[in-house]
Structure 1
C-alpha cells in the first residue's frame, strides 16, 4: 500500500462519530494530520449521506 495512514471512520446521519480507527503505516502522524483526515472523512460521509437520501427518496 502507498497510504501513509489507514483511517476508518463511521458516522451517523446526524454527524456523530460511531467509530474512528487509525494506524500509521510507515511513520507516526500528527494531531494536525488527524484533524485534516477527519475533516476529509466527514466531508465524504456527508456527501454519501446526501446521495443515499436521494436514492431512497427521503
Structure 2
C-alpha cells in the first residue's frame, strides 16, 4: 500500500483536458497524480531556412 492508499499494482487516475490553452491550434493538459504536463501545437506555413526545398517540416 502506498502513502496515497493506492495499491502497488494500481495505476493513478489519468485526466486529459483538451483545448487547455486559448491561442494554440491544439493543446492538452495531462494529469497523473501530482504530475502535470501541458502540450501545445501551433501551425506555421514557413519552414526554417535550413529545411527549405527539402520537403520536410519542423517540430519544436
> Is the TM-score greater than 0.5?
no
Pairwise TM-score range, normalised by the shorter structure? under 0.3
Larger radius of gyration: 2
Higher relative contact order (CA 8 A, sep 6+): 1
Q: Which has the higher strand share?
A: 2
TM-score scaled by length of structure 1: 0.28
- TM-score (normalised: structure 2): 0.27
